Amino acid sequence: MDITEFEGAVHYNYKDLQLATNDFSEENIIGKGGFGEVFKAVLDDNNVVAVKKLLLTHNGAKEEFENEVKLISNIHHRNLLRLLGWSVEGSYLFLVLEYMPNGSLDKFLWGTKRGTLNWDQHYEIIFGIARGLAHLHNEFHIKIVHRDIKSANILLSDDFKPKIADFGLARFQPEDQSHVSTKFAGTLGYTAPEYALRGVLSEKVDTYSFGIVTLEIISGKRSTEVKSGSQDTDYLIEHTWKLYEKKTHVKVIDDTLNLNQYEQEHVMKIIEIALLCTQSPASSRPTMSEVVLMLQEGQSLGKRKLTRPTFVNNQDRRIHIG
C-alpha cells in the first residue's frame, strides 16, 4: 500500500495497536459494524482512540479499504468522525479513529441511558447530523453519499456533540449523474424506498434516513418498532404520518423529554421537517443544505405541502435485498 497516498492519516505499527487494545481483547470491544469490530485503544502517550478491525475477505476488499482511507483522511468537520491513521497486518486492515466516550446515539434513545438528555441536547444532535450530511453532499470536493445513516452510526462526544461514523459504505457519486443504480448497502427501516426496492442511489437517500433518525430522536422509538399486543402494526414513519394527518403529531414526542409549551411547538415543526425528508419521489425531499437552513431559522414548511410517504409494506419488509 502506498503510504504517500494517505497524507491526512498516520501509519500505525500493528504491534503498537495490538498492545493498545490488549491484543484486541473481547473486553476492549466498543462496537460491531457491518465491516468488523471496533476496539478501545490506549496508546503509549495515554491518548485514547478507537480501532476498527476489518477482515480482508475478498480481492476487492483491499481496494475498498484504500478508497475508504483516501476518502475519510481528507474530511475534517466537527460533525464527522475523524480518521487518525491506519495499519495493515496479514488479512486484517485497521482504521484508527477518534474515540467517542459517549458511544452511539441509539443507547440514549432506548436502553439504560434513555431520558438522560434534554430537548436542547436532542435538537443539537439533530442539527449536527444535518450539518455533517450537508458537508458530505456539498462542501467536500466530491459528492459523498453515506448510504447507511442510522442511530447506531451517530457517535456522541464527551459533550454530546454528534459525529457521523462508518464511512465503510460511502462511495463516490459522479458529479454528472443525479443518481446511480447500485447494489443495496443500507439498513432496512432507515432506507429510502427507491434504494431498498430498486437500488436507485442519490444524496436524497441520506435525506430520507436523516428524517427517520430525527423521528427516532423525537419519539424515543426504533424505526421498526411495532406496539406489542396491539392491532397497530405501523412502523414509526407510518404511525407519525397518521398522527400528522389528524394534526395530533404532538403524540409522537417521547414523554421522557418533558417539554414546555414553546419546546413542544418547536418539536412539532421538526416532526414536519422529518416527514418532508421522507417524501417520495426523492425529488420532493429537501437537500440537506435546505434542511440545515430550515432547522437554523426555525422555519415551518412554508409553501411546501406534505404528501403521504411511500411505505415499505409488510411483505416488502421480509424481502432480503441485494
- Residues taking part in catalysis: 148
Cα–Cα distances (Å) from 308 to 243, 267, 275, in that order, read 12, 20, 9
Q: How many CB atoms sit inside 10 A of residue 83's CB?
A: 24
Contact partners, residue 52, CB within 8 Å, separation at least 6: 33, 35, 36, 37, 38, 94, 95, 97
Nearest to 38 by CA among 47, 30, 46, 48: 30
Hunting for cell 495493515 — which residue is that?
88
Quote the cell numbers at residue 136.
458530505
Burial of 273 (0-12, 13-18, 19+ CB in 10 A): buried
For the chain, how long is the longest CA-to-CA vector?
60
**Measured between alpha carbons, how far apart are the two ends of the chain, in Å?**
30
**SS3 state at 47:** coil
**H-assigned helices in the chain:** 14-20, 59-73, 106-109, 119-134, 193-198, 204-219, 236-245, 261-277, 288-296, 314-317
CA gap 88, 56 in Å, rounded? 10
Quote the cell numbers at residue 35.
465491516
Contact 66, 172 (CB under 8 A): no
Nearest to 53 by CA among 19, 86, 14, 95: 95
Whether residue 15 is annotated as binding a ligand: the answer is no
Hunting for cell 404511525 — which residue is that?
239
Helix, strand, coil tally for the chain in percent (to 5): 40, 15, 45
Residue numbers in the known binding site are 53
Residue numbers in the known binding site for ATP are 53
